[in-house]
Amino acid sequence: MNRTELGNLEQYLHKSLGSDIELIRVTEIGSLKDQGIKDFGYGKALEILYRQKGETKHAVLSIMRGDRYGHQFYWDRAAILMFEYEAGPKMHKHVKPLGLGYINLDGHLIPVKEPKEFFILNEKADGEPYFLDLERIKHGGLCPEDIKQAADFARWLASLHRTKLDAPDLYLRRIRELIGRSECIWGLVDSYPHPYQYYGPIHFQELEKKLIDWRWKLQQYTHRLSSIHGDFHPWNVLLYNGDFTVLDRSRGEWGEPADDIAAMSCNYILYGLYQNSSLSGDFERLYFEFWEKYLEQTKDYEILEVIAPFYAFRILVVVNPEWYPNHPPKVRKTLFRFLDNVISSDKYDYQNINMYFR
């Protein structure tokens, strides 16, 4: 370590362990050649020798490295270290954590003391959530601005999705998370009451088996990794004076564009089924405007080959009785039928959507 790094480390020790700390020596430990038959390591560590109140003490400062095992981003690694800080001292014979912190852009070590919960502070955006427009349309009909709004969403997504990243491992991770993450498909399945009157255990088991097939199919599409929003639905869009602002980009920067398209378009389907047993009228117009403007802008017809599991995820959200307790039975049954038919098709035919409700 150079003098500046040593100074930063000593400042951290003072803030975390007390101003009477005297730093004596820092050495690197735990190189891969010292790990025997284990030839893969997650990070590096520094042994710190310091003196406090006349007593010489040892500590180890560890930093995780990024890898393809779900640790690509610093917030992934932060979650692991936070867990170790919280859970380690609760176990008999486990080493005692002395501090938790992060390294800022200037190389300073910043302590995080006794964390219990984290928060984020955002600016407040003007506007009303887009779902209120869908409610208005459901009860009162479409106006020309509604068509323009769907087209604006499609153009914005097309522009967002043009930014690509060559990182196959990250694409595979997003597909793995889509299917297996607690807030995605597997977690949603577990959140349903079992048995569920509209979709029994056998149906869920068959769905899961088909999704495994989709997971392996999508391994051939890693070239599609793009900048995405990741949760682009009517409750995360605020409309104001002919423009819009988006909220809650909480699932990461990179993913499959079909995620965003399914998230918004499945809500046109949901609202349309409140009016009819198939998609027609106002919400059919919004659905087609959104899809066709997007394809016109992107020429990405390959999206039709990959969107099925993303529709499965979003349908499992909007039909979930915990989050949407007031759907009429016919709406739930039709959405589950759509889910089964889409997931069973090799390629989604957006132009003939009503065949998926049969």
From 215, 94, 223, select the one nearest 170 (Cα to Cα): 223
Residue 25: φ, ψ to 5°: -155, 150
- Per-residue pLDDT, 67: 83
Going through the chain in order, the beta strands assigned E by DSSP cover 22-29, 43-52, 55-64, 101-103, 109-111, 128-129, 226-227, 237-240, 243-246, 254-255
> What CATH code is assigned to 128-357?
3.90.1200.10
> Which pLDDT belongs to residue 35?
42
Q: Which amino acid is at 150?
A: A
User: Which pTM value belongs to this model?
Assistant: 0.87
CA 125 to each of CA 129, 236, 240, 245: distance values in angstroms, whole numbers, following the listed order: 11, 11, 9, 7
- CA separation for the pair 323, 319 (Å, rounded): 8
Low-confidence residues in the chain, pLDDT < 50: 32-41
| Nearest-5° Cα angle at 79, 73 to 80 | 100
Digit-coded pLDDT (tens) for 227-269: 999 999 999 999 999 899 999 898 889 999 999 999 999 999 9
Which element (helix H / strand E) includes 317? helix 308-318
pLDDT of residue 37: 42
Question: Domain spans of the chain?
Answer: 3-111, 128-357
Tell me what pLDDT residue 229 has.
95
